[in-house]
Structure 1
Amino acid sequence: MDSFKEECAVVGVYNCQNAAKLAYYSLFSMQHRGQEASGISSSDGKKIKTIKNHGLVTSVFDEENLKKLSGYAAVGHNRYSTAGEDSMLDAQPVFARYDLGEMSVVHNGNLTNAQELRKKLIENGAIFQSFMDTEILIHLIAKSEKKCLQDRIIDAILQVQGAYSLVFLSRSKMFVIRDANGFRPFSLGKIQNDDGSVGYIVASESCAFDLVNAQYVRDVQPGEMLIFEANKPPQSLQIMSPTPHPCIFEYVYFARPDSKVFGRTVYDVRKKMGIELAREKSIDADIVIPVPDSGVAAALGYSQESKIPFELGIIRNHYIGRTFIEPTQTMRELKVRLKLNPIRELIEGKKVIVIDDSIVRGTTSRQIVRILRGAGAKEVHMCISSPPTISPCYYGVDTPNKEDLISARMSVEQICEYIEADSLVYLSLQGLRQSLECGQSDSFCQACFDGKYVV
C-alpha cells in the first residue's frame, strides 16, 4: 500500500460491566484504522468521564486509568486525521455539557458540507475549539429547539451531508447513526454478560467483536438510528431513506482480513481479487510474493490461479510506523527500507511477481522494486489487485490531492517506467466487482477508481 491515510475507528458498548475495558479491547483490534490518537468516554448513569491522548491504544490506556472509566456504557475512538489538525483538541470522543445534561460523541467519516455549516454557526455566535467536523454536530444539537436529545440528534443529522458512523453517549442512553449512503462499515453485536443479561456493541469492523467475545448480529443499516436504553432491547428508527453506496476501497485495503464488511468476509474478497487478476493478466514468472500485509490474500489467490509458487519474499517489520506519516520524500523512502526487507535466497535470479493492493503516489512501489532488484531479482513484475486510483476521496479517507495521485497524471506505461518495474498491471474495475460477486445493481462507491462521486 502506497501513501493512503486511513479513516478512523469507532466503538460503542452498552449494558455491559466494565464497558470501557471492552471498548479498549475493541479499539485495540481496530488500531489499523487510526494511530494518531485514542480516547474513551464512559457513563455510570450519573456522570460521563473521558480519557484521550495522542498515541496508540496501549500507550493511552492502562489498568489505572481504565478503572477511572467506570460504568455500563462507553464510546471509543481511534483517530487518523481526515479533517481537522493534529492537536489534542481534535482527538475524540468530543465531550460537551449543554442544557439537557452531558454528552460524548465519536465519529468516523467526513461531512462534505462542514465548512458551510461551520461558517453559519460562527456567524450566529458559535465558538469552536477544534477543526473537527464532529464539533459541528455538538453545536447543531445544542442549538436545536427540540425537547429531547433523540429528536435533537435527528434534527442535527438531517442538516449534514457526507459520510458518518456516529455514536452519541448521554448519561443514560446511547444513540447510533449511519449515513444514508452507508459509506463506512458499521456493525452491531451482542454480548452475553456473566449475570445472564445481554449487552450490545457497535463497531467500525466486526473484528472488534472477536476479542470481546461478542456475537455479530447485523450491520447498522444506511440511514438507521439505533437507540439503547436500560432494560429495553435496541430501538430502530429509519430516519433517512437508504441509498446504499458502501466504500469499495474497504475491501481493497482498509478493513482487516478477518472482518466481515458490508456482508462479505474481507479475506475471501481479497483472495478472489488475486484470482481475477491472474485470469486477466498472465505473466511468465518463477514466484509470486505479496507486499505485506495488505497484499497477502490477493497474492495467494493469484498463485493458486496461475500455479506459480507463492513465497513470503518480503518480510515486514511491524514496529515501524506507516510510511505516509513522514512529511518528506526522503524520509518516506527510508522508512520503506526500514519496514520491508527481502529474503535474498528466495529472490536472487528469479522472475518475481509482486502483488500489492494499490499504488497512490508511487513512492513505495518504486522502493519495493529497487529493494527486490538489490536482492538479485532477474525481473520484477508489479501486479495491483485494484484499478488505478485516479480521484481523491471526500467521504472519510484522507487521500492525497488529485495532482498527487500518480494514476491521475500518468499512463500505466509511464507509471511502470517511474517505479522501474519490468511490467505493471492493474485489476480492472469489472474484475474488482466480479471479485465481490456483484452486478450492475450493486451500487458501491468507487469514486476513487472512476471519479463519479455519490454526494
Structure 2
Amino acid sequence: MSGIFGAYSAVKKTVLEEVYLGLYALQHRGQESAGISWIQDGSVASKRGLGLLHNAIDQKRLADGEAYNAIGHVRYVPLESSRLQNVLPISANYARGPIAIAHDGLITNLAELTRQLEQRGAIFQSSTNSEAILHMMAQKSHMQPIDALVDALRRIEGSYALAVLLENSLVAARDPYGFKPLVLGEREGTYYVASESCALDIVGATLLRDVEPGEIVVVNGKGVKSLRVRPEEKCRRLMHCSFEYVYTARPDSIIDGRSVYEARKEMGRRLARKSPCPGADLVAGMPDSGTIAAIGYAQASKTPFEMAVVRNRYVGRTFIQPTQKVRELGVKIKLNPIEALFKGKKAAIVDDSIVRGTTAERIVSMIRSCGAEEVHLRIASPPVLHPCRYGIDTRKENTLAAVRMTLDELCRKVGADSLDYLSEEDLTAAVGLPEEKLCTACFSGKYLEDEEK
C-alpha cells in the first residue's frame, strides 16, 4: 500500500515542494517511508528516509532546490522490509540515461521475473517490486526508455500504478485491470500524477481524468501523449479495488468517477437497512474511515449521530502499523470514547472493516468502561475472508479475524452485544461500479487469475 505523486512543469517552474505537499496529502497510504527523486546535472538526485514524511525528508532543503520534473512516494511496508535500500523511488543511471520509479501495487509474478533477470546477470540491491522493472529496462538498452518501459510492463502480472521519472519526461502507468487508482491533473502549465485526487487539491491542480487501465501517459516538452501497455481489447475486464472505497482512500478523493465520501455514506445507509439496531440511543463511527458510513447509518435509521469516539490527530492509522504489539498500543493512544455520551446508553458503533479484530475489541471494551448499557457493532463492508494478492497487507490468511472465528465467536471475542456486516451486493451497489468491474477478492475469494484460467 503506497502513495505516489509526480509533477512536470512545461513552464519551467520548480516542483520539489509541490511533490512534497502532494505526498503529505497521501500520507494515509503509507507511514513507514518517504522519498522524492528528481534529475540534477544529468543524474537522479533523491531524498529518502524512514518514518513519516516530515521526519524522512527535510522540506527546507527541497525549497532551495530547482527541478522541473520530480516524483515522490510514501509507503507502508512489512517490518522486515523497513530498510533504507527499500525506500522508493528506486533509481539508476543506465545506458539510456537517468530513471526513477515510484510504484503502488504488487507484482504477482515477481519471483519468476527475478529468477530470469538474475540468470541474465542482474544483481538486486533491494527487495522492492520496482527494481525488477529497472533491470528489465536496462536489459533492453537498445530501445528508447519509453519503449523499454512498455516492454517491461507487458511482462508484469498483478497490480501497479507507476510514476516514472525520465530525463525529459514524466510517465504515469496503470495496470490493465485498474486495480490501483491513478489520476492526472494540471495547473498553469504544470502536470501532476497522483494516487488520489485529494493530492491534486493541495497543490491547486484541476483533476483532468483518471489514468485509464492499461494506459501509459507521457508528459514532456511536446505535451501529453497516451500509449497502451497491451491491446485495448485486453483491458475491457476491469478490477478496481473495492477496499479503496471501504478504507484506503481519503474520503475527499474521487476514484474512477466515484466520490469516496458518497460511496461510504451509501454503505452506511444500506447497512442500516440490512442490520438495524432498534432502540439505539446514538450512532457513532470509528474515526476516521468509519465516520462517514456512520453518518449514513444514522440518517437511514433516524438515530442521532454523535462524534462520540475522538481520535488523537497526531497518531497514524492503526491497521497499517507494522507489528501486532504496536497495533494494540496504537488503539489506546489513538481513540478515546466520550464517557458522558455513552453512559447508560445503547450505542450502535459503525466501523469500515474488521481485518485482524484488534481495534474492534479494544474500542468496545473502552466504550463499555464508559458505562454503555449495550454496544452493537456494525461493519460497513463484508467480512475480510481472503488474503489480498494485489497490494493490501492482509496476505497472511490466518491473521484475519473472520477466518479464525464464526460471526458469533467474533462477536463474543470483541465483546459486542451484536455484530453484523454489509453484504457484497450492497457494497457493490454503494460503490456504484458494475460487479464485473470491482475487485472484491478479499471478501469473496474471486481472484482475477483464478477466473481467467
Q: Give the structure 1 partner of residue 361 of structure 2.
A: 366
1:224 maps to 2:215: yes
2:149 match: 153
**Correspondence for 2:106:** 110
Residue of structure 2 equivalent to 1:43: 39
Equivalent of residue 405 in structure 1, options 400, 408, 413: 400
User: Partners of 2:284 and 2:405 in 1: how far apart?
Assistant: 26
- Distance in structure 2 (CA, Å) of the matches to 1:190 and 1:327: 35
Q: How does 1:286-305 map to 2 (within 5 A)?
A: 286-305=281-300
Describe the superposition over 1:247-297 as per-residue Cα deviations: whole angstroms up to 9, x where unpaired. Answer: 011000000000001211101110010000011111121100001111110
Alignment of 1:65-76 (within 5 A): 65-67=61-63, 69-76=65-72
Query: Who is 2:438 aligned against?
Result: 444
Structural RMSD (CA): 1.7
Question: Offset of 1:330 from its aligned partner?
Answer: 5.1
Counterpart check, 1:54 vs 2:46: no
SS of residue in 2 equivalent to 1:294:
coil
- The Cα of 1:324 is off from its aligned counterpart by 4.5
Q: Deviations over 1:210-269 (max 9, x none)?
A: 110000000000000111111x22000122231311001100000000000121110111
Q: Which secondary structure does the structure 2 equivalent of 1:292 belong to? A: coil
Q: Secondary structure at the residue paired with 1:227?
A: strand
Give the gaps of 5 or more residues in structure 2.
Answer: none
- TM-score normalised by L of structure 2: 0.94
CA contact under 8 A between 2:186 and 2:205: conserved in structure 1?
yes
* Matched residue SS, 1:175: strand
For the residues of structure 1 that align with 2:434 and 2:152, how far apart are their CA atoms? Answer: 35
1:203 to 187, 190, 194: 194
Cα gap change, 1:206 to 1:134, in 2 (>3 Å) = same
Whole-angstrom distance in 2 between the partners of 1:28 and 1:325: 17
SS at match of 1:110: strand
What are the within-5 Å matches in structure 2 for residues 119-158 of structure 1? 119-158=115-154
Aligned residue type for 1:373: R
* Aligned with residue 410 of structure 2, among 396, 410, 415: 415
Distance change (3 Å), C-alpha of 1:50 and 1:406 = same
In structure 2, the partner of 1:434 is: 429
Give the Cα–Cα distance (whole angstroms) in 1 for the partners of residues 322 and 259 of structure 2.
Answer: 34
| Counterparts of 1:98 and 1:334, CA distance in 2 | 45
In structure 2, distance between residues paired with 1:327 and 1:228: 36
Deviation at 1:400, TM superposition (A): 4.4
1:83/1:72 CA distance change after superposition, 3 Å? farther
Q: Does 1:24 align with 2:20?
A: yes
Query: 1:288 & 1:29 partners in 2: Cα distance?
Result: 29
AA matched with 2:247: Y
- Distance across 2 between alignment mates of 1:215 and 1:206: 9
Q: Determine if contact 1:45/1:171 at 8 Å carries over to the other structure.
A: no
Task: Provide the C-alpha distance between the structure 1 equivalents of 2:213 and 2:38, rounded to a whole number of angstroms.
Answer: 26
Partner SS for 1:323: coil
Mapped pair 1:283 → 2:273: no
CA distance, structure 1, for counterparts of residue 116 and residue 130 of structure 2? 15
Equivalent pairs counted in the alignment come to: 442
- 1:340 corresponds to: 335
Distance 1:90 1:358, change over 3 A: same
Task: Tell me the equivalent position of 2:448.
Answer: 454
User: C-alpha distance in 1, partners of 2:60/2:112?
Assistant: 42
Structure 1 Cα separation of the partners of residues 76 and 325 of structure 2:
22
What stretches of structure 1 of length at least 5 have no aligned partner? Answer: 1-6, 193-197
Distance 1:377 1:308 in 2: 16
Residue equivalent to 1:94: 90
Secondary structure of residue in 2 paired with 1:109? strand
After TM superposition, the score normalised by the length of structure 1 is 0.94
Does structure 1 conserve the Cα–Cα contact (< 8 Å) formed by 2:215 and 2:228? yes
Identity of aligned residues (%): 42
Secondary structure class of the residue paired with 2:24: helix
The amino acid across from 1:266 in the alignment is V
Paired position in structure 1 for 2:255: 261
2:203 corresponding residue in structure 1: 212
**Alignment match, 1:195:** none
Q: Distance in 2 between matches of 1:49 and 1:437?
A: 42
CA distance in 2, matches of 1:275, 1:309: 14
Distance 2:410 2:59 in 1: 49
Distance 2:79 2:213 in 1: 22
For 1:246 and 1:348, the matched residues in 2 are separated by 42
